[in-house]
Chains A and B, each alone.
Chain A
Amino acid sequence: MTAPLIELRHIGKSFAAVRALDDVSLSIGRGEIHCLAGENGSGKSTLIKVISGIWQPDQGEILMDGQKMEGLTPRSAIAHGVQVIYQDFSLFPNLSVAENLALSSELHEGRKLVSWRRVRQIAAEAIAKLGVDLDLDALVETLPTAGKQLVAIARALMSDPHLLIMDEPTTALTGREVEALFRVVRDIQGRGIAVLFVSHKMREMLEISERLTVIRSGRVVAAGPISEFDEARITRAMTGQEIAAEGYRWTGDPRGKPLLEVAALSIPGQLENIALRIMPGEIVGVSGLLGSGRTELALALFGMKPGYEGRVRIDGREVRLDSVQEAIGHGIAYVPEDRLTEGLFLTQTIDRNMLVTSHDRLSRGGIMQGGRAAREAAEMIREMAIATPTGDRPVTQLSGGNQQRVVIGRWLLNDPRLLILNGPTVGVDVGSKAGIHRKIRELAQSRGLGVLMISDDLPELMDNCNRILVLHRGRLVSDTPAAETNEAKLSELLGALA
């Protein structure tokens, strides 16, 4: 039996007190499509960085072609044929496709001068190798995401790698683009190049990979040929929870007065004739592919799509939500998907971030009541169980999960009626995730808060929502109680839409 292309034996890696990888073993054969699965924060990225030589493992050994590697560096990893395509592609948006492709090979050949004819020639060869069609003179920033990805793949293939690592390659792609990507990946495999496909999306893993390794909290929890897996087993391995994990039950009166009622909501080109209602205490999940209109729905309800058509009622009263101020005034709170750029003031303290939406309420005659503000912030830190000794620490010092609690806590200070969460646990580690979920459920139950939870993460929706909506191309295509569906059905539905 020939040695595998790459073999990791008992790899361990710690950062300060955090054990990022613990006794991880993994082997990838030549020309194999191997899937590395795990939730955010499970240690996937750390593992990639160990294989590509960016980080040295504390324990264990790495073998390439059966040969032990000591002190692997990015350069030596590349020399051994390991190429990584990062999620952000690491391209130069301001340069042409041709130059993006040619730069690294020119650089590694130690050239001092640039011949534009050679640059074009190298680039044309790289594109031809991949068998795709790209305008060599286009600036990379003008390409769609799928185009940028092709440039990144073409660039990685130029050095004739043995192993191509793709970090979450399908995140920003549409269904059709994912299909095209899979064709490219299979074609790459056909040339004897192994592909390590890093993902957390069930359907994709089952479709593309031959072998699967699942890691959770830095440990390998399942591994084997893909035929041994189904969605339920992967989910169980990734989350560590039994599927039977109790879903959220809404116990309110279905004939009561709805908290939110939306009728015939339309925004040309974005949303079409959406009707939905949310009762107090309900947690309603929203799923849909990228571009399905789910974020637009959230923005419309938060007053950021002024001039929408249709009617919105809150507590039975008809309201217009044409500005963020009006939406907040009607008790609507929105936690955006990208909390780092949209939700938090990163240079400010936890307290200030927390109080930023409460200034009007906490001030008298335009002057903040410092004592009351500090007291409320401290209470909320306790209530949301944010891991910090005091609120005057910079918010950047918190982990992703705790930052998310700050954003949620901020809105709770204003006693909202409806909380809209867009990707509530993106970039949050597994342990924290469960904590946030528990908190959201508690709030819905005890305060009668209505929650609209938008997420890509189907298990997250299944576990926390009592009802799940599916949007597609701006239309509401399904509205089902969570008890009557399951993850497989949902992902099948989403797959059919793609």
Chain B
Amino acid sequence: MKSLALTLRRHPEWMVAAVLVVAVLTIGLINPVFWQPANIFSLLRASVITGILALAVLLVMLSGGIDVSFPAFAIAAMYLTVKAMIAWGFDGVLLPFAMATAIGIGLGLVNAVFVHHLRMIPLIVTLGTGTAVRGFILGVVGTSQINIDQMPPLLIDFARQDLFTVTQGDGSAAGLSAMVLVYAVIALGVHLMLRHTMMGRSIYALGGGEEAARRVGFNTRRTTFFIYGLAGALAGFAGLLHGAMIWTANPRDMVGLELDVIAAVVLGGASIFGGRGSVIGTMLGVLTLVVITNSLIILGVDTTWQRVVVGLIVIAATAVTAWRDRKRIA
């Protein structure tokens, strides 16, 4: 037991990897449709948005905080950007993504100000900013959903690209969305940042002990602003990508998504007490969550059970990490 706890503490990725393998094998055994390329590709595609948002949550969680404002920030960035594009008659890809990312950074920095300068608890701060931003979008910017007929075509074309297409047994074609590559590149970037830059290590240090980090000489203010700024940037980017991938900009979208994303991050081995977690683990956690919840359909389970499953995953994953970290809390 002891060595298992030790291994888990050093490499929590193994735990979620094992869960993923068991889930995939079980589901595949019950319904072989699971193994069809179309299904696999659709699962990968479905993990893109949750995955990018999970990276944002991972950053905050590593530093010892928690973020529930990111779905609101994502939607705000997406809706404002699409609205602006329509209003100015602009169509394109790079500039709109830059704008959505910038909106996300701005909102994220607001979180950082509250967390660092007013020493407020991140959960409360992000609950407040998230709710306020959602209200602002609906009250000031608009409540109407922007559908495919109004969505900027270039944006949609961008998100529609496939990396490659395969022909399945029944003759139908299945393509792997190129957005998976976008997700992979972002994840690699965050991984390199966390693992190989002093900024990344300062995030872990902050999560290990704020006072200790300050005594060693880290600029905790800069680190906090970096964390929330980057988390906001990822949320803003993911928001617009989400709109482009589903061809709609709905200001009421992504409600309740925070729980799924936090579930995925915790499942990936990140500690809710900070200082522990990795990009690999988070990506595996996201994939596991997406596989399990999306496979309920092909398993013939009513989709309303999805929420039950998500809730149970949060509890189970937190229980495992709490067991792993119990020494530290005691």
In the bound complex, CA of A108 to CA of B200 (Å): 16
Nearest CB to that of A94 among chain B residues? B275
Residue of A nearest to B275 (CB): A94
In the bound assembly, the distance between CA atoms of A94 and B199 in angstroms comes to 16
Interface residues in A117-168 by Cβ distance below 8 A to B read 139, 141-142
A141 touches B198 (CB 8 A): no
Give CA–CA (A88, B209) in the complex, Å. Answer: 11
Could you tell me the distance in whole angstroms from the C-beta of A89 to the nearest C-beta in chain B?
8
- Asked if A103 is at the interface of the complex by the 8 Å CB criterion, the answer is yes
**Which of B9, B199, B205, B275 lies in contact with A103, CB distance below 8 A?**
B205
Whether B197 pairs with A103 at a CB distance below 8 angstroms is no
Contacting pair A107 B198 (CB below 8 A): yes
A364 close to chain B: CB less than 8 A: no
- List B257-298 residues whose CB lies under 8 Å from chain A: 271, 274-276
B10 contacts A90, CB within 8 Å? no
In the complex, A113 has a CB within 8 A of chain B: yes
| Chain B residues, CB < 8 A from A114 | 195-198, 200-201
Q: Interface 1/0s, chain B 189-220, versus A by CB < 8 A? A: 00000011111110011011101110111100
**Alpha-carbon gap, A91 to B215, bound state (A):** 10
Q: Say whether B276 contacts A94, CB under 8 Å.
A: yes
Contacts of A142 in B (CB 8 A): 6, 9
Q: Which residue of B lies closest to A52 (CB)?
A: B215
Complex CA gap A115/B215 in Å reads 22
- Secondary structure type dominating chain B contacts: helix
**Shortest beta-carbon distance from A188 to chain B in Å:** 20
Q: Are A92 and B198 in contact (CB under 8 A)?
A: no
Closest Cβ–Cβ distance, residue A336 to chain B (whole Å) = 15
CA A86 – CA B209 in complex, angstroms?
A: 14
Say if the beta carbon of B328 comes within 8 Å of chain A.
yes
B328 cross-chain contacts in A, Cβ below 8 A:
93, 141
Contact of A111 among B198, B208, B215 (CB under 8 A): B198
A64 to B275, CA, bound (A): 38
Find A92's partner among B9, B195, B196, B204 (CB 8 Å cutoff).
Answer: B204
Q: Report B190 CB to chain A, min CB distance, Å.
A: 15
Chain B residue with the shortest CB-CB distance to A141? B328
Q: Which residues of chain A have C-beta atoms less than 8 A from B216's C-beta?
A: 90, 103-104, 107
- On whether the beta carbons of B201 and A99 are closer than 8 Å, the reply is yes
Residue of A nearest to B194 (CB): A114
Give which listed residue, B6, B209, B275, B327, contacts A90 with CB less than 8 A: B209
Q: Which residues of B contact A103 (CB under 8 A)?
A: 201, 205, 216
Q: Is the CB of A92 within 8 A of B275?
A: yes
User: Is the Cβ of B208 less than 8 Å from the Cβ of A106?
Assistant: no
Contact A94 to B208, CB < 8 A, known contacts A107-B217, A107-B218: yes
- Check if A90 sits within 8 Å of B215, measured CB to CB: yes
Point out the residues of chain B lying under 8 angstroms from A92, CB to CB: 204-205, 208-209, 212-213, 275
A93-B275 in contact (CB<8A): yes
What total of A-B pairs shows CB separation below 8 Å?
66
B217 adjacent to A108 (CB under 8 Å): yes
- Closest A residue to B327 by beta carbon equals A141
Q: Does any Cβ of B come within 8 Å of A176's Cβ?
A: no
User: How many chain A residues touch the partner (CB < 8 A)?
Assistant: 24
Find the B residue at minimum CB distance from A90.
B212
A95 interface residue per 8 A CB criterion: yes
Tell me how far the C-beta of B10 lies from the nearest C-beta in chain A, rounded to whole angstroms: 7
Q: Which of the residues B6, B197, B204 comes within 8 Å of A112, measured between beta carbons?
A: B197
CB-contact partner of B204 in A94, A106, A113, A115, under 8 A: A94
Contact A95 B208 (CB under 8 A): yes
Contacts of B198 in A (CB 8 A): 106-107, 111-114
Q: Which residues of A contact B274 (CB under 8 A)?
A: 94
Cβ-defined contact, A90 with B204, below 8 A:
no
Closest to A75 in B: B217
Complex Cα distance, B276 from A92, in Å, reads: 11
On chain A, the residues within 8 Å of B215 by CB distance are 74, 86, 90
B77 to chain A, nearest CB (A): 29
Cα–Cα, bound, A114→B194 (Å): 10
Q: Which residues of B contact A108 (CB under 8 A)?
A: 217
Q: What CA separation (Å) do A368 and B276 show in the bound complex?
A: 45
Closest chain B residue, CB of each to CB of A91: B212
In the bound assembly, the distance between CA atoms of A88 and B212 in angstroms comes to 9
Q: How far in angstroms is the closest Cβ of chain B from A123?
A: 14
Nearest-CB residue, chain B, relative to A110: B198
Q: In the complex, what's the smallest C-beta–C-beta distance from A341 to chain B, in angstroms?
A: 11
Q: Is the CB of B217 within 8 A of A104?
A: yes
* Nearest CB in chain B to that of A84: its residue: B215
Q: Which residues of B contact A90 (CB under 8 A)?
A: 209, 211-212, 215-216
Name the distance in Å between A43's Cβ and chain B's nearest Cβ: 21
B contact residues around A141 at 8 Å (CB): 327-328
Point out the residues of chain B lying under 8 angstroms from A95, CB to CB.
Answer: 204-205, 208, 275
In Å, the complex CA distance between A90 and B216 comes to 8
**How close is A427's CB to chain B, nearest CB, in angstroms?**
18
Determine the distance from Cα of A92 to Cα of B217 in the docked complex, in whole angstroms: 13
| Cα distance, A336 to B290, chains bound together (Å) | 48
CA distance A114 to B192 in the complex (A): 10
Nearest A-chain residue to B205, judged by Cβ: A92
Q: Which residues of chain B come closer than 8 Å to A93, judged between CB atoms? A: 208-209, 275, 328
Give A70-112 as 1s and 0s: 1 = Cβ < 8 Å from B's Cβ atoms. 0000110000000000101011111100010001101110011
Min CB–CB distance A167 → chain B (angstroms): 13
- The interface residues of chain A lying within 8 Å CB-to-CB of B217 are 75, 104, 107-108
Closest Cβ neighbor of A74 among chain B residues:
B215
Nearest opposing residue in chain A for B195, CB measure: A114
Q: Does B9 contact A139, Cβ atoms closer than 8 Å?
A: yes
Complexed CA–CA distance, A86 and B212 (Å): 10
Please, which residues of chain A bring their CB within 8 A of the CB of B275? 92-95
A158 to chain B, nearest CB (A): 12
Taken together as a complex, chains A and B put the C-alpha atoms of A377 and B274 apart, in Å, by 40
A365 to chain B, nearest CB (A): 37
Q: Which residues of B contact A106 (CB under 8 A)?
A: 198
17 further A-B contacts with Cβ under 8 Å, apart from A92-B213, A106-B198, are A74-B215, A75-B217, A86-B215, A90-B211, A92-B204, A92-B205, A92-B212, A92-B275, A93-B208, A94-B204, A103-B201, A103-B205, A107-B217, A108-B217, A111-B198, A112-B197, A115-B196
**20 A-B interface contacts by CB (under 8 A):** A75-B217, A86-B215, A90-B215, A91-B209, A92-B204, A92-B213, A93-B209, A93-B275, A94-B204, A95-B204, A95-B205, A95-B275, A103-B201, A107-B216, A108-B217, A112-B198, A139-B10, A141-B327, A142-B6, A142-B9
Interface pairs A-B: 4 shortest CB-CB: A94-B275, A92-B208, A90-B212, A94-B208
What is the interface of chain A, defined by CB distance below 8 A to chain B? 74-75, 86, 88, 90-95, 99, 103-104, 106-108, 111-115, 139, 141-142
